[in-house]
Amino acid sequence: MLGPHCTKNPPTLSSTCGAGHVEEFAGLQTYITGDQDSKLAIILLADAYGFEAPNLRKLADKVGDSGYFVVVPDFYYGDPITPEKPGFSAESWLKAHNPDKGCEDAKAVVEALKSKGVSKVGAAGFCWGGIAVARLAKFDCIQAAVLLHPGPVTVEEINEVKIPIAILGAEFDSLAPAEHVIKLGEILSEKAEVDSFVKIFPGVGHGWTVRYSDDDEFAVKSAQESHVDIQICFQFLQKKMLGPHCTKNPPTLSSTCGAGHVEEFAGLQTYITGDQDSKLAIILLAEAFGFEVPNLRKLADKVGDSGYFVVVPDFYYGDPITPEKPGFSIESWLKAHDSDKGCEDAKAVVAALKSKGVTKVGAAGFCWGGTTVARLAKFDCIQAAVLLHPGLVTVEEINEVKIPIAILGAEIDSYTLAEHIIKLGEILSEKAEVDSFVKIFPGVGHGWTLRYSDDDEFAVKSAQESHVDMLNWFAKHIMN
């Protein structure tokens, strides 16, 4: 049912707002934005005011900028809620627009997306849309769900959920009381087979994520926080896929670049440089382009010049990412090169270093390598860690960190949002037993530490600054 909060702060609808466009999709008029060639799609299911709400389209554009194909269908068939009209009946409107019908329509949208080559679909629903997404989540046609100040969702519906799900609720919401949302979270926490995330936003009411005023600083900040959570939820719930920034500015690989040499080490082809008699070693874990990246080897040589024994193993076993090749599948590549396997391989490298008399080991990881180093940091086999524009790192992984850790993030990174890096830093700051350092580099994007152009003075300067920060961290925790 619709409550009074459902019609509070009504938006001024606009058929022309947004950076995207409207076309018929799966039989519905649909606002489309983002990367229409992406294999990852997000469906946004509007609250009762429908798909022409400007703040909803603004959010859709923001999600699209993260590399998703985003669709916002008109599940109300040109009939959004109009409580200001004489004779309007909420009961009649709900009868005409039942969430069960919305769920069936959403299934058709999913099928249409998959017919276009989309491999994974997430759905986020607001109010009425939240109910429809909760019902959709008991099927396996989508891979992740987010409910934002949902309409009434029952315990029974939550018990039937089969896919990763997040629920973002409001402190003041008579339609979906915070206590009820918390209860749903407790039920989800007992479903070991379902990944879940539940959060109550303080000081806000029903509809806060899309029906806010630009003049209300607190409301805007709360809405933006929820938007960040949406994107993080889709990233984490979709099992750490590579984002579009991971393949931007690809390097030209070279097997012969660098001042060092390649040999087999711990069963892996490894670029070795620096002082091989040193008792202090640094492992560099490459991003998806692998250990033959010239700027990575240049950095390895620089680290080696500081007195370290430096190793850059080929954790991809001769199979770096090759998105330009016909038939290349990011999903298949990630399956073959899981970060957990990378973590185990890194442990073997550490053991091989220590067998050579090394007493202290630091590890720095870039993108995929950053995710791997974050997992390595929950063990005491290394003495310091640095994550540079890391892949997706969870709060849980950061909570398990046992060693000094630094995280260097980018201001402009839709893959690992700056807001998320800051959040991880806040968690680390509360761990008195773990020394930490977190920094967001302004004006740069994902991959800036290695994938820069020598002709771009700002890019070079930013990369060099990150290299100095990394070396300073190792000097503090490895050299001393």
In a domain, 270, yes or no: yes
* pLDDT band at residue 211 using 50, 70 and 90 as cut-offs: very high
Residue 243's nearest CA partner among 232, 256, 230 is: 232
Residues 208 and 149: their CA atoms lie apart, in Å, by: 8
Show which of 237, 270, 298 is a domain's final residue.
237
Higher local confidence (pLDDT), 89 or 262: 262
Distance of CA 141 to the CA centre of its chain: 21
Query: Quick count: other Cβ atoms within 10 Å of Cβ 286?
Result: 26
- Render the burial of 169-190: b for 16+ CB within 10 Å, e for the rest: bbeebebbbeebbeebbebbee
Q: Count structural domains, the chain.
A: 2
In a domain, 110, yes or no: yes
362-380 pLDDT per residue, tens: 999 999 999 999 999 999 8
For residue 117, pLDDT beyond 90: yes
For residue 17, pLDDT beyond 90: yes
* Rounded mean pLDDT, 413-434: 89
For residue 90, pLDDT beyond 50: yes
44-54 pLDDT per residue, tens: 999 999 999 99
Does 193 share its domain with 80?
yes
Does 70 share its domain with 106?
yes
* Strands 40-45, 28-34: pairing kind: unpaired
In this prediction, residue 241 carries a pLDDT of 47
Show which of 204, 237, 270 is a domain's final residue.
237
In this prediction, residue 330 carries a pLDDT of 72
Does 203 share its domain with 326?
no
Q: Name which of 185-199, 227-241, 303-317, 408-422 the model is least confident about.
A: 227-241
Does 228 share its domain with 295?
no
* Rounded mean pLDDT, 136-159: 94
For residue 3, pLDDT beyond 70: no
Does 233 share its domain with 266?
no
Does 329 share its domain with 220?
no
Residues 466 and 441: their CA atoms lie apart, in Å, by: 8
Does 224 share its domain with 364?
no
Residues 402 and 436: their CA atoms lie apart, in Å, by: 11
In this prediction, residue 244 carries a pLDDT of 57
Contacts of 451 (CB under 8 A, 6+ apart): 248, 249, 250, 251, 295
In this prediction, residue 142 carries a pLDDT of 95
Does 303 share its domain with 340?
yes
Average pLDDT value over all residues in the chain: 92
* pLDDT band at residue 237 using 50, 70 and 90 as cut-offs: very low
* pLDDT band at residue 5 using 50, 70 and 90 as cut-offs: low
Concatenating the DSSP letter of every residue in 356-412 gives TT--EEEEEEEEHHHHHHHHHTTSSSSSEEEEEEES---HHHHHT--S-EEEEEEEE
309-365 pLDDT per residue, tens: 999 999 999 999 987 788 877 778 888 998 899 999 999 999 999 999 999 999 999
In a domain, 139, yes or no: yes
In this prediction, residue 307 carries a pLDDT of 97
Q: Name which of 119-123, 163-167, 321-325, 390-394 the model is least confident about.
A: 321-325
Percentage above 70 pLDDT, the chain: 95
Q: Name which of 225-234, 297-306, 309-318 the model is least confident about.
A: 225-234
274: Cα within 13 Å, side-chain hemisphere: 27
For residue 238, pLDDT beyond 50: no
CATH number at residue 469: 3.40.50.1820
In this prediction, residue 419 carries a pLDDT of 84
In a domain, 249, yes or no: no
**Bridge partner list, 135:** none
List of E strands, 189-228: 196-205
- Which residues span the domain enclosing 47? 4-237
In a domain, 330, yes or no: yes
The SS3 of residue 324 is coil
For residue 127, pLDDT beyond 80: yes
Residues 336 and 131: their CA atoms lie apart, in Å, by: 37
